[in-house]
């Protein structure tokens, strides 16, 4: 009897493998999973692996592939192993070499501002790329991170003469500050920097033009609106929340800070609203899809095409594509491929970039979770467009809550209610703000008039957020351990799979 049970178990495993191998879609999805698994394993070990293993382990896998080529199951397993090894080494080789050392004492070098400056209330964070040949060749690092006062302020491409002490970043109170910077390509920080501008013209010319235009957009925002509403518009359109002041904490306490970060969730809301508008204008759905997709691309370019904006545009497009295709397996493959390509370009984002994780999970939630809520929401006497926004909101909250509790350790008790009260109007704030900006470049008085009208919904949002944030019980500290987060996501996956199986 025992042998019979074991045989049936092995046959069951073999049948499941045969189902995956027989389906191109499932095989593709499995290969994407193994690629991401290799990145995750690399993040867990987080050490540079000796280069010799890059040749040794794939050679063994290739030998197995040649021997068992006729066996489709073994061939699939070996390919999966090769993909996992490739992504593992991709992460490993993105780390500094084992002999990476920084020079001791104060150093003087020239460097250009290599990324858009991160402007905050307490100062500006700069990433500069060293130009001195002896630093680049002998010490094997290019980028350095440092903090400066708000003024004087430097822009992308400015060449600086810098004097400081170089150090390796270290974790701070459990926060992996070193990996937070690694995702930006930075493995050295500048202590007590003294610097001055000595030139310009550094960096990529195209990126310089894009960021210069974004700077003009930022100045126009501050002309059209006063604070904190200029900061509000800047937050929902291109993720800059520097001007919000104390409102930033109010948004955090009420669990709606995500609306101030440009994300796939925000862009997907805009896309859904635009599709609804196109329906009322009798535009065929297929043509409306291409129109909205083109508007998303134009939006990404208009607000600067930064890394987070491009990621948000891609995630928003995937939600749009899900509605167009209507087949979750095809959209799932597109979503998995997106995660693979982003991790291939920057292997640190999968584990060490909370923004990427939240944007990805919110997109997954908006695509896969609405059927779990739709039947219940349909009973509420509300307009169909509003019901769709509420369903998407609940889906995004459920999909991201475990990660938020693990990453940030704060549970907002009023978040569901505040989200429902304000999210229906956020797409109109984004759309009104965006159109106001565009029109202000064409004919400023028209843009200014429309900007004045957008103050009405913004004042509504800030009033709701401020009132709920003032409640002493609006948020509590609640940190979720990593194993509990994974258990919750495993349960959520089981629930979604069971629900879709019944449909």
DSSP 57-109: HHHHHHHHHHHTTT-HHHHHHHHHHHHHHHHHHHHHHHSPPTT--PPPSEEEE
Q: Report d(CA 223, CA 337) in Å as an integer.
A: 41
Task: Give the up-direction half-sphere exposure of residue 502: CA atoms within 13 A in the CB hemisphere.
Answer: 7
In a domain, 209, yes or no: no
Final residue belonging to a domain, choices 94, 127, 156: 94
How many whole angstroms separate alpha carbon 340 and alpha carbon 333? 10
409 Rama class: left (phi>0) / alpha (psi -120 to 50) / beta: left
Residue 208 maps to a domain: no
User: Between residues 158 and 268, which one has the greater pLDDT?
Assistant: 158
The candidate with the shortest Cα–Cα distance to 109, out of 153, 78, 146, is: 146
In tens, the pLDDT along 64-116 reads 777 777 777 777 888 888 889 889 989 998 888 777 778 788 888 888 998 88
362 is a domain residue: yes
Which of 28-37, 142-151, 317-326 is the most confident on average? 28-37
Q: Are residues 86 and 113 in the same domain?
A: no
Closest CA to 358 of 303, 308, 302: 308
Q: Look up the domain containing 347 and give its range.
A: 217-502
Average pLDDT in the 225-245 region? Answer: 78
Looking at the fold, whether 90 and 123 belong to one and the same domain comes out as no
Q: Which ranges of 195-284 does DSSP label H, i.e. alpha helix?
A: 205-224, 229-238, 247-253, 264-280
CA 438 and chain centroid, separation: 26
- Of the three residues 203, 225, 243, the one that is the final residue of a domain is 203
User: Of all residues in the chain, what percent carry a pLDDT higher than 90?
Assistant: 10
Does residue 265 share a domain with residue 156?
A: no
What SS3 class is residue 246?
coil
- Strand runs (DSSP E) across 360-485, as ranges? 410-412, 475-477
- Of 94, 123, 154, the last residue of a domain is 94
Provide the token pair at 441: 């470049």
- Determine the average pLDDT of the residues in 378-397: 72
Cβ(398)–Cβ(499) below 8 Å: no
**Same domain for 339 and 388?**
yes
418 and 379 together in one domain: yes
Rounded to the nearest 10 degrees, the angle between the axes of helix 264-280 and helix 354-368 is 40
Asked if 484 and 420 touch (Cβ cutoff 8 Å), the reply is: no
Exposure string of 32-50, with b = 16+ CB inside 10 Å and e = fewer, is bbbbbebbbbbbeebebbe
Residue 427 CB neighbours (<10 A): 22
Is residue 269 located within the same domain as residue 409? yes
96/101 Cα distance (integer angstroms): 9
Give the range with max mean pLDDT: 30-34, 51-55, 253-257: 30-34
* 50 and 140 both lie in a single domain: no
Cβ atoms of 264 and 318 closer than 8 Å: yes
How many Å apart are CA 87 and CA 496, to the nearest integer? Answer: 28
d(CA 331, CA 324) in angstroms, rounded, equals 10
Q: Which residue has the tokens 């500048």?
A: 190
Non-local CB neighbours of 478 within 8 Å, separated by 6+ positions = 405, 409, 410, 411
Give the pLDDT confidence score for residue 9 in this predicted structure: 46
Residue 146 resides in a domain: yes
Domain check: are 284 and 371 in the same one?
yes
Q: What is the CATH number of the domain that holds 183?
A: 2.40.50
- Whether the predicted pLDDT of 460 surpasses 90: yes
More confident residue, 263 or 267: 267
Q: Look at residue 45 and tell me if it is in a domain.
A: yes
* Nearest C-alpha neighbor of 463 from the set 242, 228, 297: 228
Cα→Cα distances 191→117, 131, 153, 168, 184, Å: 18, 19, 18, 10, 18
Residues 318 and 439 in one domain: yes
Decide if 160 is inside a domain: yes
Q: Flag whether 469 is in a domain.
A: yes
- Mean pLDDT across the chain, nearest whole number? 80
Tell me which H or E stretch contains 189. Answer: strand 189-199
Cβ atoms of residues 363 and 265 within 8 Å: yes
128 with 254, same domain: the answer is no
- pTM, whole model, 2 decimals? 0.79
Same domain, 76 and 147: no
Quote the number of domains for the chain: 3
| Helix, strand, or coil (residue 23) | coil
pLDDT at 11 over 80: no
Stronger pLDDT, 454 or 376, i.e. the higher one: 454
Does residue 210 lie within any of the structural domains?
Answer: no
* Whether the Cβ atoms of residue 190 and residue 142 lie closer than 8 Å to each other: no
Same domain, 58 and 117: no
Position 35 pLDDT exceeds 90: yes
């Amino acid at each position: 009897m025992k042998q019979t049970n074991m045989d049936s178990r092995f046959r069951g495993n073999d049948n499941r493998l045969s189902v995956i191998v027989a389906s191109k879609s499932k095989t593709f999805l499995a290969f994407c999973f193994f690629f991401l698994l290799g990145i995750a394993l690399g993040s867990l070990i987080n050490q540079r692996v000796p280069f010799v293993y890059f040749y040794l382990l794939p050679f063994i896998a290739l030998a197995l592939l040649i021997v068992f080529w006729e066996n489709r199951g073994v061939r699939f397993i070996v390919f999966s192993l090769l993909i996992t090894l490739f992504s593992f080494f991709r992460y490993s080789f993105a780390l500094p070499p084992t002999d990476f050392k920084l020079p001791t004492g104060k150093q003087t070098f020239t460097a250009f501002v290599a990324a858009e400056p991160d402007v905050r209330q307490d100062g500006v964070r700069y990433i500069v790329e060293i130009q001195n040949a002896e630093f680049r060749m002998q010490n094997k690092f290019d980028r350095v991170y440092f903090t400066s006062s708000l003024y004087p302020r430097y822009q992308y491409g400015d060449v600086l003469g810098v004097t400081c002490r170089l150090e390796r970043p270290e974790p701070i109170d459990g926060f992996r500050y070193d990996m937070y910077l690694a995702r930006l390509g930075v493995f050295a920080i500048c202590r007590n920097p003294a610097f001055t501008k000595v030139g310009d013209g550094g960096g990529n010319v195209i990126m310089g033009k894009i960021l210069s235009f974004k700077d003009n957009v930022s100045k126009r925002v501050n002309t059209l609106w006063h604070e904190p509403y200029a900061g509000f518009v800047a937050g929902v359109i291109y993720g800059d929340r520097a001007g919000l002041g104390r409102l930033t904490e109010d948004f955090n306490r009420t669990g709606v800070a995500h609306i101030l970060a440009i994300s796939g969730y925000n862009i997907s809301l805009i896309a859904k609203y635009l599709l609804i508008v196109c329906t009322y204008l009798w535009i065929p759905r297929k043509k409306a899809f291409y129109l909205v997709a083109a508007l998303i691309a134009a939006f990404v370019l208009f607000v600067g095409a930064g890394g987070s904006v491009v990621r948000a545009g891609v995630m928003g497009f995937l939600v749009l594509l899900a509605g167009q295709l209507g087949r979750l397996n095809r959209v799932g493959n597109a979503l998995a491929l997106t995660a693979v390509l982003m991790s291939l370009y920057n292997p640190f984002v999968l584990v060490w970039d909370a923004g990427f994780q939240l944007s990805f999970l919110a997109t997954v939630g908006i695509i896969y979770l609405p059927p779990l809520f739709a039947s219940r929401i349909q009973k509420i006497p509300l307009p169909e467009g509003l019901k769709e926004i509420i369903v998407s909101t609940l889906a995004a909250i459920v999909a991201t809550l475990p990660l938020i509790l693990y990453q940030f350790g704060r549970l907002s008790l009023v978040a569901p209610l505040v989200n429902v009260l304000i999210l229906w109007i956020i797409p109109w704030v984004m759309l009104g703000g965006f159109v106001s900006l565009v029109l202000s470049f064409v004919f400023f008085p028209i843009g200014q008039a429309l900007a004045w009208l957008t103050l009405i919904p913004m004042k509504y949002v800030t009033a709701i957020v401020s009132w709920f944030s003032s409640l002493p019980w609006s948020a509590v500290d609640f940190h979720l351990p990593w194993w509990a987060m994974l258990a919750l996501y495993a349960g959520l996956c089981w629930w979604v799979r069971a629900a879709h199986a019944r449909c």
